[in-house]
Amino acid sequence: MRSVHLSVVSAQSCEAQRRSAVELRGVGKTFTSRTGQVEVLRGLNLSLQDGEFLAIVGPSGSGKSTVLNLLAGLDQPTSGAVFCRGEPVAAVNTGIGYLTQHDSLLPWRTVEQNIAVPLELRNIGRTEIAARVRDLIAQVGLEGFERHYPSQLSGGMRKRAMLARTLIYDPPVLLMDEPFGPLDAQLKLALQAELLKLWSAHRKTVVFVTHDIVEAITLADRVLVFSSRPCQIRLDEPIAIPRPREVHEVRFHPAFEEHYRRLWTALEPPARRPS
């Protein structure tokens, strides 16, 4: 794989040409179920530029996955509008890669067959599929497990297989819902580094949901902190750590501590916040 590290293009120079890759305008979402209504999002505005890496943190149940589902077009907002690359998202959005929070591998397919699904859907030839699958399997470190079925993998390995399946068709926008949650620290760093490498090489737009503040600071250009329901953006923190970043050194950067403190404070519920 390419190992080019492009540094971030200077913000002012192409601010004008940059269109928003992903945009939520006054989005509200209320779920209606038998037990009543749950208002998850209310008047949410959010805009991401092309090639921007956004991380979202927030308490459990605050609506992070809901936002990703709206962007993927798997769900429709109750009010407001969702745009992806300038187009309103009306049906399922196939211009994105969505690594969901829950397991969605096909249990009757082996790892390599699962990773090949997006390419099969695009009618790509067998030999090319085999080559690209092999590449991706190596990138996510699943060598030796090509012929295993998902039920024979650990949770972290299933996540990696899903990551490979999302990356293989090279979508311009990536939605990732806690992709590295169940991984051990070592592997987490390795995959974060891989993701950063990939991101800087291909300049994808990424929305990355995580519970890990360190991970958010390490990876993102901007970190949003969601409040609990109905969700508001409690903090929109641009990360001032220059790129290219080394995933295991970011935490020693002088700016890191300040970011961490501000994000942590914003995450804490107001009642418990010392002030």
Ligand X SMILES: Nc1ncnc2c1ncn2[C@@H]1O[C@H](COP(=O)(O)OP(=O)(O)OP(=O)(O)O)[C@@H](O)[C@H]1O
Q: Which residues bind ligand X (CB under 6 A)?
A: 31, 33, 38, 40, 58, 60-66, 101
Pick the closer one to ligand X by CB: 64 or 204.
Answer: 64
Binding mask 168-207 for other proteins (x = CB under 8 A): -x--------------------------------------
Pick the closer one to other proteins by CB: 174 or 198.
Answer: 174
Backbone angles phi, psi at 5, to 5 degrees: -110, 95
Q: Identify what 227 binds: ligand X, Mg ion, other proteins, none; CB under 5 to 8 Å per kind.
A: none
d(CA 85, CA 183): 32
Pick the closer one to ligand X by CB: 116 or 231.
Answer: 231
Strand 222-226 to 53-57 pairing: parallel
CB of 261 to other proteins, least distance (A): 34
96 lies in the binding site for other proteins (CB under 8 A) = yes
CB of 235 to other proteins, least distance (A): 29
Beta strands in the chain (DSSP E): 20-33, 36-49, 53-57, 79-84, 87-88, 96-99, 173-177, 205-209, 222-226, 233-238
Site for Mg ion in 33-92 (CB under 5 A): 65
The DSSP secondary-structure symbol of 200 reads H
Pick the closer one to ligand X by CB: 3 or 33.
Answer: 33
Helix (H, G, I), strand (E, B) or coil at 208: strand
33 lies in the binding site for other proteins (CB under 8 A) = no
What order do you get walking across the sheet with 20-33 strand by strand?
36-49, 20-33, 79-84, 87-88
Selected binder of Mg ion within 47, 78, 101, 113 (CB under 5 A) = 101
Pick the closer one to ligand X by CB: 57 or 167.
Answer: 57
Selected binder of other proteins within 121, 130, 240, 255 (CB under 8 A) = 121
Our CA angle for 201, 205, 209, nearest 5°, is 115
- Give me the helix-helix angle, 155-167 and 126-139, nearest 10°: 130
Burial status of residue 231 (CB atoms within 10 A of its CB: 0-12, 13-18, 19 or more): buried
Selected binder of other proteins within 79, 94, 138, 264 (CB under 8 A) = 94
**Residue 48, CA atoms < 13 Å, CB-side half-sphere:** 30
106 lies in the binding site for other proteins (CB under 8 A) = yes
Helix (H, G, I), strand (E, B) or coil at 157: helix
Q: Residue type at 168? A: I
Q: Identify what 169 binds: ligand X, Mg ion, other proteins, none; CB under 5 to 8 Å per kind.
A: other proteins
Selected binder of other proteins within 93, 192, 210, 218 (CB under 8 A) = 93
Residue numbers at the binding site for other proteins (CB under 8 A): 72-74, 92-94, 96-98, 100, 102-104, 106-110, 117-118, 120-122, 149, 151, 165, 169
Residue numbers at the binding site for Mg ion (CB under 5 A): 65, 101
